[in-house]
Each structure stands twice: as structure tokens, then as C-alpha cells.
Amino acid sequence: MRPGLASLGSALLLVATAACGGGEAPSTAADEAIARAGDDEEREGLVAARDDIDERMRREAAEKDAEIDRLRKENEALRRRLRR
């Protein structure tokens, strides 16, 4: 694999993981805003928005992971063809 593609894949994975707070735990990026919410309704709205964004980022990360896997397989297939 080309070093640039590996670096891109690593960077995308790192950004996606950071954006999502990793795993299934909610991200912490909005914690300060949620803590400053004026009332329960505002807090619930901010938590819902955070959760929606987290889910979207997880989906995007999964799509990028799938694309990286596809490109790796394509790269390997091309390398095998070149060796013939």
C-alpha cells in the first residue's frame, strides 16, 4: 500500500473516532454547552442534537472504513496483476 493512502486511512479513522468519542459512548464535545443549558428542555434538545451528530459521524466513519477496505483490496488485486 502506498504510504499516502495508509496515512489518509489512519487520519480518517482518528478523526472519526475523535468526532464520535470512540465506540458507542457519546462524544464529549458538547458537554460544556449541555451543562450550561438553562432548563431540562434545552438540555434534552442539546443531548438529542449531540446524539444525532454522533450517529451521523459513526455512519460516515463506517462508510469511510468500507471505502478504505475496498481500496486496499483493489490495490492488492492490481499489485497481483502487475506481478504476472
Mean of pLDDT values over 50-68: 97
User: Do 26 and 54 touch, CB atoms closer than 8 A?
Assistant: yes
Task: For residues 59 and 47, give the distance between their C-alpha atoms in angstroms, rounded to a whole number.
Answer: 18
11 vs 32, higher pLDDT: 32
pLDDT of residue 24: 83
Give the mean pLDDT of the chain: 83
69 vs 21, higher pLDDT: 69
Neighbours of 29 (CB within 10 A): 15
Which tens digits make up the pLDDT trace of 27-43? 999 999 999 999 999 99
Task: For residues 30 and 20, give the distance between their C-alpha atoms in angstroms, rounded to a whole number.
Answer: 11
Which stretches within 1-84 are classed as H helix? 3-20, 31-35, 40-83
